[in-house]
């Protein structure tokens, strides 16, 4: 069976890298960053695709203003949780 990929992972990673320095987190270590990444993905609807063409299409759908706002909200909420309960 071929591999599948959740394009939401790319979108969350892009925005997390971009805004990580601005987020109200108590700790900026790599472990906390990975926890925010995992927690954010668990709050967002997955977008799995089977192949490259599907990936481009799905990625485009995640670049709308609304989609970016939804992702940023999930990241901010996750950052608060990880700040309150760090596991590093």
Closest listed residue to residue 5, CA positions, set 40, 44, 39, 56: 56
Handedness of CA 39, 78, 41, 23 (dihedral sign): negative
Rounded to a whole number of angstroms, the minimum distance from the CB of residue 34 to its own copies is 4
Q: Tell which positions 17-76 bind its own copies, by CB under 8 A.
A: 17, 30-31, 33-35, 37-39, 41-42, 44-50, 54
Rounded to a whole number of angstroms, the minimum distance from the CB of residue 50 to its own copies is 5
Q: Please pick, from the candidates 9, 10, 14, 77, the single residue that binds its own copies as defined by CB under 8 A.
A: 9
Residues in contact with 41: Cβ distance below 8 Å, sequence separation at least 6, in sequence order? 6, 8, 9, 12
B/e letters for 48-65, b = 16+ CB within 10 Å, e = fewer, are: ebeeeeebeebbeebeee
Q: 3 vs 65, which CB is nearer to its own copies? A: 3
**Which residues bind to its own copies, rule: CB under 8 A?**
1-4, 6, 9, 13, 16-17, 30-31, 33-35, 37-39, 41-42, 44-50, 54
């Amino acid at each position: 069976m071929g591999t599948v990929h959740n394009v939401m992972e790319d979108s969350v990673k892009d925005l997390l890298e971009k805004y990580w320095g601005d987020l109200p987190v108590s700790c900026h270590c790599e472990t906390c960053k990975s926890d925010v990444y995992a927690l954010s993905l668990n709050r967002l609807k997955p977008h799995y695709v089977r192949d490259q063409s599907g990936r481009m299409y799905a990625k485009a759908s995640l670049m709308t203003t609304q989609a970016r706002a939804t992702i940023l909200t999930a990241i901010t909420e996750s950052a608060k949780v990880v700040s309150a309960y760090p596991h590093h």
